[in-house]
């Protein structure tokens, strides 16, 4: 069984690129790797993931989440969505499952360490136990848009200290872009100040600006040029640690 599960993604890649199987079996047009899973009693994600999402990292996407290694990209890969499909025809569903990156983790030549809910989502009906028995399976994957209706939620982390120290994490990041930098506007100086990427996708700043906070983030979307997106009055002047603030993203 172990040999079969470790080799199936090479076999699938050969069939899709050389033999040219029907499009229904090769529609991903993605990359090939391997996936395994980590265990929790509730089958969901972990609230202590390296991205800094907290409880959001446990339940987002109904707990179908993943830890990654090379796709982590220093934390900018946090929150990215991927469509993942395993490549054992008799056990794996054709549509696979959508997962959200919430953690960093390294496995045995695996790009994905899935929650049990996500790993189960790879299987055909009544075949999940077969996949769990393999432990590691070959997968095909590709980046797909996160569908959150163009809204952002910025969570002010509990360790923030009003008004001087502000630490935030973006939740429900839509689309297919990575956030590679965040800046806040210092109105009394008329200038933008960079926030520090503390870890994962947590950004912080000491001596935070007073008043309503406007910020902008630098994003990169696949091969497109980097660009800044400004979000006006995202966080109120009387912000509170542990509170979340929602804003609609410009079209």
CA distance 10 to 238: 55
Beta bridge partners, 186, equal: 191
Q: Is the pLDDT of residue 206 over 60?
A: yes
Q: Is the pLDDT of residue 11 over 60?
A: no
Structure pTM? 0.87
DSSP string covering 169-205: EEES--BTEEEEEEEEEETTTTEEEEPEEEETTEEEE
Give the residue from 251, 53, 230, 222 showing the smallest Cα distance to 150.
251
Tens digit of pLDDT for each residue in 107-163? Answer: 888 999 999 999 999 999 999 999 999 999 999 999 999 988 777 899 999 999 999
Give the residue from 78, 118, 122 showing the smallest Cα distance to 102.
78
CA distance 46 to 44: 7
CA distance 32 to 148: 27
CA distance 168 to 216: 13
CA distance 79 to 147: 11
CA distance 199 to 222: 22
Tens digit of pLDDT for each residue in 75-111? Answer: 999 999 999 999 999 999 999 999 999 999 998 889 9
b/e sequence 204-214, b meaning 16+ C-beta within 10 Å: bbeebbebebb
pLDDT bin (cut points 50, 70, 90) of residue 214 is very high
- The mean predicted confidence, pLDDT, of the chain is 88
Q: Is the pLDDT of residue 165 over 50?
A: yes
CA distance 108 to 124: 24
CB 146 within 8 A of CB 80: yes
Tens digit of pLDDT for each residue in 52-78? Answer: 999 999 999 999 999 999 999 999 999
Give the CA dihedral 239, 243, 244, 247, nearest 10 degrees. -20
CA distance 73 to 104: 10
pLDDT bin (cut points 50, 70, 90) of residue 250 is low
Give the residue from 80, 138, 82 showing the smallest Cα distance to 110.
138
**What is the helix (H) or strand (E) element at residue 97, kind and residue range?**
strand 97-104
Encoded tokens for 222: 């696949």
b/e sequence 4-33, b meaning 16+ C-beta within 10 Å: ebbebbeebbeebeeeeeeeeebebebebb
């Amino acid at each position: 069984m172990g040999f079969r599960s470790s080799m199936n993604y090479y076999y699938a890649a050969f069939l899709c690129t050389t033999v040219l199987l029907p499009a229904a079996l090769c529609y991903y047009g993605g990359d090939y790797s391997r996936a395994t899973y980590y265990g929790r009693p509730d089958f969901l994600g972990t609230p202590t993931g390296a991205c800094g999402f907290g409880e959001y990292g446990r339940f987002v996407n109904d707990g179908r989440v993943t830890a990654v290694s090379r796709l982590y990209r220093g934390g900018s890969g946090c929150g990215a969505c991927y469509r993942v499909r395993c490549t054992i025809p008799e056990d794996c569903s054709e549509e696979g499952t959508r997962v959200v990156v919430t953690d960093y983790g390294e496995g045995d030549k695996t790009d994905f360490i899935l929650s049990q809910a996500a790993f189960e989502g790879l299987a055909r009906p009544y075949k999940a136990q077969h996949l769990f028995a393999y432990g590691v399976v070959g997968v095909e994957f590709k980046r797909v848009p996160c569908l959150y209706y163009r809204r952002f939620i910025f969570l002010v982390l509990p360790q923030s200290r009003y008004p001087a120290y502000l630490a935030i994490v973006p939740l429900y990041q839509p689309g297919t872009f990575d956030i590679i930098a965040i800046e806040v506007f210092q109105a009394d100086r008329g200038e933008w100040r960079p926030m520090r990427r503390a870890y994962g996708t947590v950004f912080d700043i000491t001596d935070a600006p007073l008043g309503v906070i406007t910020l902008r983030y630098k994003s990169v979307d696949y091969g497109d040029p980097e660009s800044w997106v400004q979000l006006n009055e995202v966080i109120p002047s009387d912000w509170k640690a542990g509170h979340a603030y929602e804003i609609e993203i410009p079209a």
